[in-house]
Amino acid sequence: MPRVNPERRPIVERVADKCLFFLSKGDRCPTVGKILRGLNGEVPFGADQPRKFLAEVRRRIETIYETPVCSVGPMMYERQVADDGIIARESFLLDPPKSDEEAKSCLPGGHGGKLAGLYFPEKNDKIYEQWCLKYTAQGLKQTTLNIGRIHDGVKQKVLSKHTAPKKLGELCNDVLGEAMTPFIERLALRVAGLLSASKSEKSMAEED
């Protein structure tokens, strides 16, 4: 279940339903303005915080309705116009990205600019692929940082070399499922320097 402030839950549910209504009518990429229009000041955030609220809406659509959706930036909607006024390229809504770089430019942040709308992907969608990769990379960086903390904690003896890797495995079991637990435990042990690389590789080869 997505985590939503109980006070915001009714409005999050209503806006999520509204986005799915747009999708049913063929609008796969409603803008922030269109999504929030008509709420008459009911949205419980300041004028500079629609991103946080729409993240809750997006999570509800993903988890409750099991519908893929991602955030997009202004580049998704903008045409490229040459100096002579001739349209060099239609918006990516009308002319989908043909490269990974074009797809990345449609995302919020960086060159993509601020949050501009929500996007329901199509088959083999480059924009959704790049969105998934972007946030997976962020998660892996955070995971690497935290495993490094375990390594340092064991090395400095503020964490137990006997229990810290095991508990990391149990945590991953809760989050990722039992299939990942042996792998994560071996990874944690290797990072903590408690198993030699050769021993770990031999064990993995035997299991394969």
pLDDT per residue as tens digits for the range 153-165: 888 889 887 787 7
Residue ending a domain, choose from 45, 67, 89:
67
d(CA 202, CA 141): 27
Q: Which domain holds residue 8?
A: 1-67
Question: Distance of CA 91 to CAs 3, 50, 84, 169, Å?
Answer: 34, 23, 18, 46
The alpha-carbon radius of gyration of the chain (Å, integer) is 22
**With pLDDT > 90 as the criterion, what percentage of the chain qualifies?**
33
Whether 16 maps to a domain, the answer reads yes
Rounded mean pLDDT, 62-77:
94
Rounded mean pLDDT, 173-193:
63
Q: Would the pLDDT of 65 be above 60?
A: yes
Q: Would the pLDDT of 135 be above 50?
A: yes
Number of structural domains found in the chain = 2
Length of the chain, in residues: 208
Whether 114 maps to a domain, the answer reads no
Q: Would the pLDDT of 80 be above 80?
A: no
pLDDT band for position 188 (50/70/90)? low
Whether 11 maps to a domain, the answer reads yes
Whether 120 maps to a domain, the answer reads no
Q: Would the pLDDT of 192 be above 60?
A: no
Q: Would the pLDDT of 84 be above 70?
A: no
| Averaged confidence pLDDT in the chain | 79
Residue 189's pLDDT is 61
Residue ending a domain, choose from 67, 83, 118:
67
